[in-house]
Amino acid sequence: MSDPIGARFAPLFAPRTVAVIGASATGITPGNEFIRHSLALGFAGKIVPIHPTAASIEGLPCARGFAELPEPVDYAYVAVGATQVPAVIAGAKGKLRFAQVISSGFGEIAAGQALDAKLRAAVAESGVRLLGPNCLGTYSPRGRISFVGGSPPAEGAIGIVSQSGGLAVDIILRGAQRGLGFSGVVTIGNSLDLGPADLLAFYLDDPATRAIGLYLEDVKDGRRFFEAMRAARGVKPVVLLLGGQTEQGRKAAASHTGSLASDARIWSGLARQTGAAMTSTLDRFLDTLLAFQTLAPRPGAGTRRVVLFGNGGGTSVLAADAFARAGLSVAAMAPDAIAALEALQLPPGTSVVNPIDAPAGALRQDEGRVAERVLDAVLRLERPDAVVMHINLPVFAASADQRADFVENLVQAALRARSRHPGAAHLVLVLRSDGSAEVDARKRGYRARAVALGIPVFDEMSQAAIALAAVAGFERSAGSTG
């Protein structure tokens, strides 16, 4: 009987011993940076730099090779010249479980084909499972290893596989600014051995992972990948960001990872058959993952009917268009819900049909707590699938009335209303800024607190519409497989 997949990948995501090949005793190389970043993240296991002559690197005792090590190493970070890599892997037979090869110059270029074949042979002979070559590393908060400086230490619920190392850095750092937390980020480069299907299968089985994000330019074993994607359908959300979807993009992918990117129609068909969410930009990719991190999909219900509530008439009109384009409905509310809102006697200029367009003065009623009464009526009588509350932050920041933190009170009021109607509707927040330093600083604080409470925060209504539509798509997919 084979080991469970979680046990097989534990040496990668939570290594106890790490070897670093390619760190320098006199300079700063990617190997040195990996050691520093992992120690800064709190790695408590054993790190052994492997170097032919140095006694110590980064304050750690060195070994001259794997043969000197008394026990097998869980994970090795290999950052030496490409011509040295096959010998490194061959020499690790029986001594190493996972190797991540940062070096480039293999199958992604014509001159590297022979070297690529040597590395394949070394992998087959040694039994080492290999990530890369031509990648940057793995970031695992649970294992306290990272190739990125400033990686958040908190363990999260989003699992990432990326063919691009540089883009993975953006995913980690820009994702953290949005409030994303990661169960792991693995870069796979050329995917000579382990590929997206392997990591997808791990994340699908991993209790710590709630949703999975994949940046791909090409998949070498299409059938196996399709089966892994199909296994995820309705079980965990999978969000795709694809490179090489145009002629120019395919040329770039070929020089980047040696990929022969597939036709966009093939990917679209795969997404339809497997229930995956396709995205076309990094921002949409991160926004969609944030929605899946914070919102609990409701397969039995499915999201379609949306109520919009906030300040800004033009914004409300544009938002209604954006949600309609995303396949969601912003329809007029039922008469009893409208009557209940009218009974609240909100100030003149407030529209209570849907969108609920409330001037800033209306939202300041009871120091912002008026939102609780509005949303309680909406959730109790209209029972939408989602409520999107949008706030134009500069209006509140510039107001002479600073008696209270109105925005914080609005968010807390919305949470109290939601708590009285658990599971009734998704709650989404859009915070609009003017780009000034003061407003953006406030926005960062509001965002962090809201996301920690399970409310996704977006910069624009159109972003919220696209992300919420992806959640709706997963709900439909899960409902059809249940």
Residue 361 is encoded by which pair of tokens? 């003065």
Per-residue pLDDT at 273: 92
> Which pLDDT does position 481 carry in this prediction?
66
Strand order in the sheet with 426-432: 351-352, 356-357, 306-310, 386-392, 426-432, 457-458
- Which pLDDT tens digit goes with each residue over 244-273? 655 555 555 455 454 444 677 888 888 999
As a whole number of angstroms, the distance between CA 379 and CA 53 comes to 69
Give which of 317, 331, 394 is closest to 360, Cα–Cα. 394
Closest CA to 387 of 359, 361, 362, 421: 421
Query: How far, in Å, CA of 69 to CA of 86, rounded?
Result: 19
Average pLDDT score over residue span 10-20: 99
For residue range 42-89, list pLDDT tens digits in order: 999 999 999 999 999 999 999 999 999 999 999 999 999 999 999 999
CATH numbers and ranges of domains, the chain: 1-134 (3.40.50.720), 154-294 (3.40.50.261), 298-481 (3.40.50.261)
Which spans in 157-275 are helix H? 165-178, 196-205, 222-232, 247-257, 264-274
- Which range is least confidently modeled, 176-180, 280-284, 358-362, 424-428? 358-362
- What radius of gyration, in Å, describes the C-alpha atoms of the chain? 25
How many percent of the chain have pLDDT more than 70? 94
What's the Cα-to-Cα distance from 446 to each of 117, 167, 224, rounded to whole Å? 53, 27, 43
* Rounded average pLDDT over 298-320: 92
* Per-residue confidence (pLDDT) for residue 248, from 0 to 100: 58
Count of all residues that appear for the chain in the document: 482
- Say which range, 156-160, 249-253, 427-431, 436-440, has the weakest mean pLDDT: 249-253
At residue 9 the predicted structure's pLDDT band, cuts being 50, 70 and 90, is: very high
Q: How far is CA 89 from CA 57, 187, 191, 297, 439, in A?
A: 21, 19, 16, 44, 52
| Residues 306, 354 contacting (CB under 8 angstroms) | no
pLDDT for 347? 86
pTM confidence score: 0.93
Q: From CA 209, how far away is CA 142, in angstroms rounded?
A: 12
Task: Give residue 301's pLDDT.
Answer: 76
For 139, the enclosing helix (H) or strand (E) is strand 138-139
pLDDT for position 258: 47
Strands lying side by side in the sheet with 73-78: 46-50, 17-21, 73-78, 96-101, 129-131
Average pLDDT over residues 116-143: 98
Query: How many Å apart are CA 449 and CA 156, to the nearest integer?
Result: 16
Amino acid occupying residue 240: L
Helix 370-377 vs helix 335-342: angle between axes, to the nearest 10 degrees?
A: 160
Helix, strand, or coil here: 392?
A: strand
Residue 378 has pLDDT above 90, yes or no: yes
Q: How confident is the model at residue 163 (pLDDT cuts 50, 70, 90)?
A: very high
